[in-house]
Structure 1
């Protein structure tokens, strides 16, 4: 049993014992150890307090706050789990231009950063800045949890701006309402470009994180603002003119400052890009559910977007109109040399227009007459769309920018969109019964349908090849609608596998296309597409919806093939 040690006496230990780290018996005037060693026993009874001096901690906190832009005098606002510091906001700005702008290229970088750090920008600019931060948070793993709080803040800012405009417009006179002159559109003068952009970005966030129905409601407000601001009519007075004749109105419809006069072309180009982004969003959002379009192609008098470098460097470039590009594509006598090469964003607009035409073609085929006239009109429209798509695809194949090795998210999505349109042209034929065709033309139409099926199969294989290479880009940088063409190709391959199984069950496997001859190879291609959709499901709600449906169909086919092998 251990014996208890003697309790040390009260008082301070001498300096000799403290230095030797020995137990001092605190005997005064000389402790036992000092007496034994023959040294002077020195005791210091008043020692300075340990730790930082008074006020030193407060000074350190102040200096740390200055380094991280934290002002102790004023409370720091919090967004979710993060504090709204200048570093966080700067990081969100950089994330937007690194991961969002490549696929939603409507913001001029220099113009935005000229006012982004202002404490009290205009209400419309404040809405745009908040919307940009909201979408940037959705594209980041670090700030992913911040998205919901930023989304609520952006909604409140936009609603307050909408309420303010309603209160101001309460005194609008009847004379102004009845004035139908488009050049004197009071509504167009009141709509800020930044406000339209904010609503569009908010709709994109809802499409990524909430659901497509809510995104459709928000996008509807953005589309109406586009119409009120007459962004579809930006180049109405420059039809057929030169670059010098293009309209440059830096203060019309935007919260511009006087120093922005040098960016007049960039501001006009920003209006064009805002419209075309809404134009694309209208078609991509309505494609899955066959909703009717809001922004009609026939009313557009806005030139196609210029190359990104010209836009950011404020270098005027005259682009053609969408109608001019599609007129060349529809011309049977035009060869590949007459096809107008376009920048990736402009090419995406053209393909989105062709997708919209495919949607209209499908609807018309369902309501047209079942006689010979209806069949003839259907095939005329179909062949014209196939011709236009073939010419655009030839341009993509010949362009140096549109290669499989290019990792630009807009280039990748544009290439996939082209494959999707080709697959859609084949799927439209499945909605038209062959009994509608005249008897003497049924065989010819069957040959055409077979050729369209072969093109769709090639497009699906190219989509798989793109899906293999796109995984190196990263899911955050991909286009918000990337899941749509991937799901289209996967659905096509699954339907073709079912067709192969039905033919195999009947005992006849001859005549099947070479790329679809092996069911095992077909399943491998579907698995590659599903793998990319699985990586997108954490950042894209649409990918989750597509994945649940496609995996059920795919697993059903795999189960059928296993049962067939057991027979």
Structure 2
């Protein structure tokens, strides 16, 4: 006797051999009632077939799962998926057309609509139906504050919609859940599976037809989330390609011309329905623009988006976007004029600083035929002074809403302020390099060294102001700013090793990176590079227990580790040691990256987690406090018996300095004498 599910299969009632035999002792139901029931089912099945043939592969809601066919054996192991196996492709039969109905005795029943879509979902939906909603809430709590590219009210409403055409695309859902799960230790076992599912749906859309299913905002948003996750996890080759996909899709859909004139170019998207959708396009473009700049400044590789092609205004305030209240916007050109920063929003400021990073990269890497770096009146030095003036004008013109400590609770504002000082360091480190190379007047190098040291001290001070915040909400690329500032202190301490204030600031930045790596693995790459800088500079005592305990493991790791990307030299691609920061690298006696790439055995990693020891002044170590139920993770500053004088750093102590005859820079701090 067939099961109830088989009773509704296509062709069952058309096959008389499958009908129940007449039972003389049982009263048969009225024929008219049964005949009408069959016709109703046939009509419904015809509608299903029509829908499948018309919208093959259309994404269905999560609650459209045929639970009768989802068994424990069919469900994937949610703890992880072997990348060498094709299980992920086999367990999702999305977009396949159903087999043709046969009037003969069916060997197997025809898949239902939900089966052909995505009948085999991750196991936590079977046992814990609240997990998807928890991951969505976690995304808006920890990831969204630093990258608000989704309209939260509309996204949450669409997630609850039962219509398959009104729900977010599965690729976007999985990308959102991937970033959310990576920000909390409770869901760390799910991250890899969610990440692979997200990429599978994105690649499926790309290979469907001629690629027409990619032409939507959700696909760009999903690739943006995937690129951010891959950079965060140090999947640098994948991250570079995912960033390129994001920026190219944004350009293809005309997101760089949201507020521009209507010109005769291919239009892939219809006009926005309302101001919210228009603002969402702006935010998505500027986030992809920022990702394009971040990827290039850490590698020195070319950027995809040309700033001169942009005709999209900077994003409005988060409050106006969430409420759907139209708000005037300004262009990037207007924001960089004197007084233009007064109208900047917190998210708009991130777009501005990303543009400055891009200009700085072009300044350093795109030489002109008539460029004469040895002439202080040449093109290079004219661009240098122009860039320096723009940065100073922006820094002085920031409104109070974009300054710390007033806006310390906004991770975008914290990140933007750090990036401004990071751009100062990168600009003037290159100037110092040119002065030394072409033997220009030492006054230029003296001024640039002072600017670098002051900017590094400001970054340390800003980090101290915001160290009480949840590091999971911070922009992953904030670790780059800490890394660049730490390198300045390493250079300074090579000539002034007894300066306790500089030691304290450097030690604090190292502690902040150690705390940040627990929710942002990208910080580990910078820590590994700083370890080499400290060793070459003769500052082994600042390398902390982390390196002293792992020194024996480094030699073993260098012999056994093989990089899948760079031949057999045991190195892995790094981020930040080239590009804008290439001139901030302390002079070393050997080339290459950290031999171990920052990966150590578990027993060594346990020693790394211990707080560093040292009798230094001005130390504010940051530690990660994780509750017993691992439900929250946040950082909090702790002082180790520091006096008021000990807490003074270069950022607020009125630093006085000078360069001696030997070219060494010395700092005089009256408060510490």
TM-score (norm 1): 0.69
SS at match of 1:147: helix
1:376, distance to aligned residue in structure 2 (A): 1.5
1:119, distance to aligned residue in structure 2 (A): 5.6
Residue of 150, 154, 174 corresponding to 1:130: 174
Contact 2:138 2:180 in 1 (8 A): yes
Structure 2 Cα separation of the partners of residues 229 and 312 of structure 1: 23
User: Alignment length, in residue pairs?
Assistant: 427
Partner of 1:452: 448
Contact 1:286 1:293 in 2 (8 A): yes
Partner of 1:49: none
1:73, distance to aligned residue in structure 2 (A): 5.5
Partner of 2:219: 195
Structure 2 Cα separation of the partners of residues 413 and 345 of structure 1: 10
SS at match of 1:137: helix
Partner of 1:541: 521
Partner of 1:231: 255
Q: Is the deviation greater in 470-479 or in 292-301?
A: 470-479
Residue of 443, 465, 468 corresponding to 2:464: 468
1:143, distance to aligned residue in structure 2 (A): 0.8
1:165, distance to aligned residue in structure 2 (A): 4.0
Residue of 270, 273, 282 corresponding to 1:252: 270
Q: Which has the higher helix share?
A: 1
1:486, distance to aligned residue in structure 2 (A): 0.6
Matched, 1:205 2:229: yes
Partner of 2:504: 524
Structure 2 Cα separation of the partners of residues 410 and 376 of structure 1: 37
Q: Is the deviation greater in 227-236 or in 364-373?
A: 364-373
Residue 78 to residue 435, structure 1, CA distance change in 2 (3 Å): closer
Structure 2 Cα separation of the partners of residues 488 and 435 of structure 1: 21
SS at match of 1:432: helix
Unpaired stretches in structure 2, ≥5 consecutive residues: 1-63, 80-122, 543-673
- Note the alpha carbon deviations across 1:411-459, whole angstroms, 9 max, x for none: 111111111011111111133145647xxxx44xx43442332222111
Structure 2 Cα separation of the partners of residues 495 and 121 of structure 1: 58
SS at match of 1:144: helix
- Note the alpha carbon deviations across 1:476-527, whole angstroms, 9 max, x for none: 11111111101010011111222446xxxxxxxxxxxxxxxx5232122111
Partner of 1:354: 356
Contact 1:304 1:322 in 2 (8 A): yes
Structure 2 Cα separation of the partners of residues 304 and 540 of structure 1: 27
1:404, distance to aligned residue in structure 2 (A): 2.7
Structure 2 Cα separation of the partners of residues 471 and 372 of structure 1: 42
1:208, distance to aligned residue in structure 2 (A): 1.3
Residue of 78, 81, 106 corresponding to 1:80: 78
SS at match of 1:291: coil
SS at match of 1:166: coil
Structure 2 Cα separation of the partners of residues 542 and 167 of structure 1: 32
Matched, 1:106 2:149: yes
Structure 2 Cα separation of the partners of residues 411 and 461 of structure 1: 18
Contact 1:211 1:541 in 2 (8 A): no
SS at match of 2:357: helix
1:561, distance to aligned residue in structure 2 (A): 8.4
Contact 1:79 1:150 in 2 (8 A): no
Structure 1 Cα separation of the partners of residues 494 and 257 of structure 2: 48
The correspondence of residues 278-427 of structure 1 with structure 2, limited to 5 A, is: 278-326=288-336, 328=337, 334=338, 337=339, 339-364=341-366, 369-370=371-372, 376-396=378-398, 398-404=399-405, 406-427=408-429
Structure 1 Cα separation of the partners of residues 287 and 210 of structure 2: 26
1:341, distance to aligned residue in structure 2 (A): 3.4
Partner of 2:207: 163
Unpaired stretches in structure 1, ≥5 consecutive residues: 1-68, 170-189, 240-248, 255-260, 329-333, 502-517, 563-567
Residue 251 to residue 381, structure 1, CA distance change in 2 (3 Å): closer
Partner of 1:477: 473
1:542, distance to aligned residue in structure 2 (A): 2.1
SS at match of 1:290: coil
Structure 1 Cα separation of the partners of residues 202 and 302 of structure 2: 26
SS at match of 2:159: coil
Contact 1:341 1:395 in 2 (8 A): no
1:372, distance to aligned residue in structure 2 (A): 6.2
Structure 2 Cα separation of the partners of residues 309 and 79 of structure 1: 41
Residue 167 to residue 412, structure 1, CA distance change in 2 (3 Å): closer
Contact 2:432 2:448 in 1 (8 A): no
Structure 2 Cα separation of the partners of residues 522 and 273 of structure 1: 39
Contact 2:373 2:380 in 1 (8 A): no
1:121, distance to aligned residue in structure 2 (A): 3.3
Partner of 2:433: 431
- Note the alpha carbon deviations across 1:22-77, whole angstroms, 9 max, x for none: xxxxxxxxxxxxxxxxxxxxxxxxxxxxxxxxxxxxxxxxxxxxxxx999756486
Residue 103 to residue 121, structure 1, CA distance change in 2 (3 Å): farther
SS at match of 2:130: helix
1:275, distance to aligned residue in structure 2 (A): 0.3
TM-score (norm 2): 0.59
Structure 2 Cα separation of the partners of residues 100 and 560 of structure 1: 36
Residue 210 to residue 381, structure 1, CA distance change in 2 (3 Å): closer
Residue 71 to residue 370, structure 1, CA distance change in 2 (3 Å): closer
- Note the alpha carbon deviations across 1:270-305, whole angstroms, 9 max, x for none: 000000000001111111111111011110000000
Matched, 1:488 2:490: no
Structure 1 Cα separation of the partners of residues 312 and 209 of structure 2: 27
1:117, distance to aligned residue in structure 2 (A): 2.6
CA RMSD in angstroms comes to 3.1
